[in-house]
Amino acid sequence: VSMEHLVESVRERGVAALMTEYMEIKQRPPDGTFTAAKLKANLPKNRYTDVLCYDHSRVCLEQLDPNDPSCDYIHANYVDGYKQKNAFISTQGPLPKTIPDFWRMVWEQQSLVIVMTTRVVERGRNKCAQYWGPEIGDQVTAGGYNVTTLEVDRSSEYTISKLLLTKTKTEETREICHMLYTGWPDYGVPRSAKALLQFLGLVRQQQSNLLANLGDAWAGHPRGPPIVVHCSAGIGRTGTFCTLDICISRLEDTGSVDIRGTVEKIRSQRAFSIQMPDQYVFCHMALAEYALSRGMLSPQQIAMLPPTIEEDSD
Ligand code: PTR
Ligand code: PTR
């Protein structure tokens, strides 16, 4: 449907109808197996026992030990973008013991950008291991990799760091952009839709800058390697982020939106994506905010929407 249509329907049916729509999506049972995630040797690699990782779309690490079927497992799935296969890797926040696997995945998949939408500790609980150094000059050694923090740029809602990832054995190095969004509580929605949209634009920009540095290495794939996206479980906030990216690309390309279809598609690749009704509603509001900023909707149309959006549009 068109953006105007969407806004009209949200206004008419209200937020409660969106919540109901989300519950319908959520009630559908997972359609796939979780065999690798349930292997005894892999259980300690899952952050949450109730959030498992599909087999059919999982990212397999290189099988380093042919006798160990568990050594290719990491809690991560490929997720398609808008007209782009495997645009993202959605993954859980690394555990202390899976940090080496995480960096190995980044290296093997040749990813350039890591998006993190959780903080390391929230409400006194560990949500993600400190797998990179937060200060300039910090170094982290993980398995066969070394990670050095070269630059850190902090603003109120996010922190962007330039990391140097070195494969110790060959001394090959790669520049990685680490993009930490701090203004997003777990189980919740970002404090500011505007700031998140701005962040999303920066993610795309970083990916294309880093890609340009590589010359024609990715010639056949103009948008490059998968962007690694994670929160704590890698489903709620990660799913919301991917939904918005996909919906915005589609809106730019065709002028139409399909939030429900997008969420269903993402959930078919990364089970349980988008965790809260609020996050589903937020996708609608943020998309309306985006359309407003692009002159696709009028302020009057926006003013008719439920209040979430007005708080952000100053
Ligand atoms: N078992 C956890 C829970 O207690 O809810 C699973 C979980 C944790 C699910 C965090 C989603 C979470 O949010 P996010 O995917 O945004 O990190
Ligand atoms: N602790 C999580 C929660 O209660 O939200 C665990 C969980 C994760 C529960 C996923 C259900 C999940 O699947 P679905 O999103 O399909 O309900």
Q: Is 231 a catalytic residue?
A: yes
Phi–psi pair at 244, nearest 5 degrees? -65, -45
Mean pLDDT for 304-314 is 51
Q: Which ligand places an atom closest to the C-alpha of 189?
A: 1
Catalytic residue among 128, 177, 231, 283: 231
Structure tokens at 239: 């799913």
User: Listing from the earlier edge strand, what are the strands of the sheet with 139-142?
Assistant: 76-81, 84-91, 227-230, 113-116, 172-181, 158-167, 145-154, 139-142
Residue 271 Cβ inside 6 Å of ligand 2? The answer reads: no
Ligand 2: residue of 51, 53, 264 to mutate (most ligand atoms within 8 A of CB) is 51
Rounded distance between C-alpha atoms, residue 185 and residue 119, angstroms: 8
The pLDDT tens digits for 285-306 are 999 989 988 888 877 777 767 6
Residues in the chain: 314
Report helix, strand or coil for 28.
coil
The pLDDT tens digits for 42-54 are 999 999 999 999 9
Report helix, strand or coil for 78.
strand
Mean pLDDT for 133-148 is 97
Q: Which residue from 109, 282, 111 is spatially nearest to 192, judged by alpha carbons?
A: 282
Q: What is the DSSP letter of 308?
A: G
Mean pLDDT for 68-76 is 95
276 CA to centre of ligand 1 in angstroms: 10
Rounded distance between C-alpha atoms, residue 230 and residue 137, angstroms: 24
Pair type for strands 158-167 and 172-181? antiparallel
Average pLDDT along the chain: 93
Helices (H), 155-226: 193-213
Rounded distance between C-alpha atoms, residue 293 and residue 75, angstroms: 36
Q: Tell me, what's the pLDDT at 2?
A: 84
Rounded distance between C-alpha atoms, residue 86 and residue 118, angstroms: 22
Angle of helix 236-254 versus helix 277-293 axis, rounded to 10: 30
Q: What is the DSSP letter of 2?
A: B
Least confident of 99-113, 175-189, 222-236: 175-189
Residue 28 alpha carbon, nearest atom of ligand 2: 16
Q: Tell me, what's the pLDDT at 218?
A: 85
Q: How many CB atoms lie within 10 A of CB 292?
A: 19
Binding pocket residue ranges, ligand 1, CB within 6 Å: 48, 50-51, 118, 186, 231-238, 275
Q: Which residue from 312, 265, 273, 260 is spatially nearest to 290, judged by alpha carbons?
A: 312
Q: Tell me, what's the pLDDT at 306?
A: 66
Amino acid letter, residue 218: W
Rounded distance between C-alpha atoms, residue 67 and residue 165, angstroms: 29
Task: Give the closest residue (by CA) to ligand 1 atom 13.
Answer: 236
Question: What is the percent of the chain where pLDDT is above 90?
Answer: 78
Residue 231 alpha carbon, nearest atom of ligand 1: 17
The pLDDT tens digits for 75-86 are 999 999 999 999
Mean pLDDT for 187-196 is 87
Residue 29 Cβ inside 6 Å of ligand 2? The answer reads: no
Residue 272 Cβ inside 6 Å of ligand 2? The answer reads: yes
